[in-house]
Amino acid sequence: MDRDRPVARQDLDPVAHEHGVHAPELGEVGAGMSQAPNALRALAGLGVEAEARAVGVPTYSASNLRRADGRYLRRAQPGDPTPLLAFHRADLHRVLLDAVPAGWVHTNAEVTDVREDGEGVTVVAGGTEYRADLVVGADGIHSTVRTRLWPDAEPPRYLWRTAWLGVAEVAGVPGDLSGSVTMGKGDLFLVHPVSRGRAYWALLTTSGAAGVRYDDEKAAALDRVGDWHDPVPDLIRATPDRAVIRTDIRELPPLSTYVRGRAVLLGDAAHAMSPDRGQGAGHTLEDAVVLAHALATEPALDVALARYDAERRPRDQATARGARADGARTASRAGQSAISALVRLVPAGLWRKGLAPDGNPTWRWQPPTLPVVPPAP
């Protein structure tokens, strides 16, 4: 198969293709993800730690590092702890949704316009106009709130990489499925075990152009890593064709503020980052706790929003910079060789220390304590 062979150009609206514009309903979306200790603390801050842990599965992806031929650069030992939990996205969405009072979430309501006038915000959604004291734009990397109210913000930039993602039914798939990362030829294959005996996988590769589509995405993924060690090809084969997702990797150039009057950005709308530190959704959860805390404890709205901006923007943007640098390293053969050499040099004890819940500065984040709010009548 020709690499980067464009097909079906008439379908090449990468934004709509990858993200959908808005969800018609809540359902089985996306694939999987891992969450690190900082994100698990954010979930605790939101009051859903037990529920999240109940659907998360420990993953050893930071302990099992392999080469394409299957050799281990580093291997988890029996009894090793891991601070990372892997989730099927739909499971984590359900946990968050269940924590919201019934009737508060409306689907099938695309926001098409947002206007801010200092006193409040007017939002047009699903053809109806709404007036709000505050609007939180949590509408992803191609945020409508951001494009309307931050007209000078640079658009997301393509990082010359693309990813195939899937969730495989793993019964009968040979090989280690406890979580791993395999590097080869500038490509990276990640596996996490997720709920109900399934495995989430992601293949990140370099790519010449954004928006390239293949007639058969699954075959295109196999074309790159079909000769890699077990269980790499079998996981791709064990994924239903329609469940193989393709997404180009982009990041949002840093914003100078998350706040515009009575509108505020959160999550990928504010700081979409390269996935290489597995922190995009984790930082989204952190944003949510910090914003909720600022709004609950600060009587003046503008002061609360300024506090949120000052607390979140430096951290989000520093993690995004780190993720981009990590991605640039893992996306090159030379970078992968350097990582392999380094991994072999680090003594096992030091490596294990780095996998403690406070093993690196990003993971050490602690949430503020939200005041207890009486249940809505």
Q: Name the residue nearer to ligand FAD (CB basis): 33 or 264.
A: 33
Contact present, 274 and 327 (Cβ < 8 Å): yes
Least separation in angstroms between residue 84's CB and ligand FAD is 9
State yes or no: residue 279 binds ligand FAD (CB under 6 A): yes
Site for ligand FAD in 215-254 (CB under 6 A): 247
Least separation in angstroms between residue 20's CB and ligand FAD is 5
Helix boundaries (H) for 203-267: 217-225, 232-237
The CA–CA distances, whole Å, from 365 to 45, 50, 283 equal 12, 19, 10
Site for ligand FAD in 49-68 (CB under 6 A): none
C-beta atoms surrounding 20 within 10 Å: 12
Least separation in angstroms between residue 95's CB and ligand FAD is 14
Least separation in angstroms between residue 275's CB and ligand FAD is 4
Q: Name the residue nearer to ligand FAD (CB basis): 135 or 304.
A: 135
Pair type for strands 263-265 and 135-137: parallel
Contact present, 120 and 110 (Cβ < 8 Å): no
Q: Is 280 helix (H, G, I), strand (E, B) or coil?
A: helix
Helix (H) or strand (E) holding 162: strand 157-169
State yes or no: residue 24 binds ligand FAD (CB under 6 A): no
Q: Is 123 helix (H, G, I), strand (E, B) or coil?
A: strand
Residue 135's nearest CA partner among 261, 36, 307 is: 261
State yes or no: residue 180 binds ligand FAD (CB under 6 A): no
Site size toward ligand FAD (CB under 6 A) is 28
C-beta atoms surrounding 101 within 10 Å: 9
Q: Name the residue nearer to ligand FAD (CB basis): 191 or 305.
A: 191
State yes or no: residue 205 binds ligand FAD (CB under 6 A): no
Q: Name the residue nearer to ligand FAD (CB basis): 107 or 337.
A: 107
Site for ligand FAD in 113-172 (CB under 6 A): 138-140, 144, 163, 165
Q: Looking at 268, 286, 309, 316, which residue binds ligand FAD (CB under 6 A)?
A: 268
Helix (H) or strand (E) holding 323: helix 301-330
Q: Applying CB under 6 A, which residues contact ligand FAD?
A: 19-23, 33-35, 110-111, 138-140, 144, 163, 165, 202, 247, 267-269, 275, 278-282, 284
